[in-house]
Structure 1
Amino acid sequence: MADSFKASSEFGFLLCPLTHQIFEDPVLAEDGQTYEREGIVHHIQKNGTSPLTQQLLSVDQLRPNSIIKKIVNEFRSKHYYFKLDTHIKKKSRRALFQAHGKTVWEAEWIGKDGPSICLMKINGIKALKEASFYEKMTRHPNIVKTYGIVDEPANITSHSITLLQEYASEGNLFELLQDQPSMPNEHVLSEIFVQISDAMVFLAHNQVVHGDLACRNVLVFRYDANEPKHNLVKLTDFGLSRGSSMYAPLGTASTTTLTIVPIRYAAPEILRNSNNKNSYTEKSDVFSMGVLMWEAYSKGEMPWSNIENDNEVCQKVMNGERLKQPSKCTDRM
């Protein structure tokens, strides 16, 4: 564990100073700094100067930083474990979020600088003993990164797992939409939808079904109401759905993230046979993606908000009724 922490505590040089994300394609610029290629190219094209020194920079002079790339690859080839109150600590005992067997706390490094982090603890599931699945899935730029598993000395719950993840300071998409004075520009929403779709394609390629696509499970890392490309969102909770073969309910008596069907977002085949794991497919995720887009165009309004009873919603969807086109949504979209 000590060796793992040594690598993890040196996150600083693995993070792009411009995007604040772990490097994917690091390049060395004329100012002597290493940046993520896509981020610095966009910055140079817009400003022409270094974001750190104001020195004139040229895209043509960017060179791959093979040393940093090698270190990043080595870092990602290992499984990392962290100990609570030794390597990291909770910023507050009060949770940021708690519902249906999942609790999230904001956290911070002990004695070292690093990226913003949070702890996510999930109860009532058969947890894996290593974080390799999460690390593999979270290499996508639009999926929340998981840095490893956290060992809690006081944790006596055998069926639980605590993950160390990157923290989204802007909160989730539902919260952001609710806080805006008006609905975001359609071009901004389109960019957000493309990023979510890219993440979902990656999950589908890896035979992972999300099972709970909704604005609350899209975290916002950057928001710009005027420049679509400046926005950055990432998908979360992708490995915690019942559609994933990684987890299985411990029993129907307990209420967990796995035993709750997101009725107002669920495809009709799921509503007809929610106990059948095979009902959860990439097709049912596509249906939920449509509901997510409706939710975004409705500024975070709950789907079927005019109907109080979930059973009535089930019947309508199973009978072929669909959400109406939001007033702000163009015919093209």
Structure 2
Amino acid sequence: MPTNAETVALALDRITAGYVFPERAAEIDRAIRKRLAAGEYDALDGPALCGAVTAHLLEVCPDQHLALRWDDEPQPVLPEDPDKGQAAFLARMRTFNQGVRGFQHLDGNVGYLDVRRIADAAEGARVIGAAMELVAGTSALVLDLRECLGGSPEGCNTWCSYFFPDDQTHLKDIYDRESDTTRQYWTLAHLPAPRYLDRPVYVLTSARTFSGGEDFAYTLQAHRRALVVGETTRGGAHPTGSYQLDAHISVRVPSARGVVIATGTNWEGVGVAPDIAVPAEQALEVAHRDALARTAQPAAPEQ
């Protein structure tokens, strides 16, 4: 087993090589190595080490994706993880039903989808399509992202495409430091279920909503395709890779930065602010009530 100092040094090497803002990576490296030299981490056990280093990383650079993570179950340590944790992510999504937790048909013909993760576009497309088939005939839709803690930018693009009429909407761009390239994300031309157009859409958020969940909420809100109801989200916008440092500790390194075209920015550090601010536990009731008011049919005229 490597020493704490060796593990932290490996983490700093990863951050320096891959963090999306190189100048901030240099600041992080200086600050944490100063603590290393002072022996601050020497006596900590694994979970405490991860907690302390993560707190110190955030003091220098308040990027909510930047962290050391402890796993009780030993993980394989490879010389190089070529897919930056993608295989592990796909495996988790399979156990999470590609992120779709549940469907309800609420009173007043209002659809409800509970989405806990944003799946990979390829593996998750059929489940996302099946969910959208279930709500295809509803008069309004509530997307519950209050417990959505992240996922795939490509999967978010798939979800968002259902709420636009064609493939002509430029949703966002993502710059990747490693390849020094920018990828454009446009709505998709072909989807496995009907698009959800010309009807009210509500997105429920909480202070726990994070990363891919925030991407989904912010993108629909910025393009005026949904009302966000609930609480301001956590504020983590940078796509991230995960690297195993030893059998129990990995480091998460944000390596890319997204810009939503409708605003020219993203939600990093500030979160997604709701259009209708209410405590998270009241968000569904408030959204449902608003949906009923917006979709109420006028009374039939008297004969």
Which of 1 and 2 has higher RCO (CA within 8 Å, sep 6+)? Answer: 2
Same topology, TM > 0.5:
no
More strand by share: 2
Q: TM-score, normalised to structure 1's length?
A: 0.27
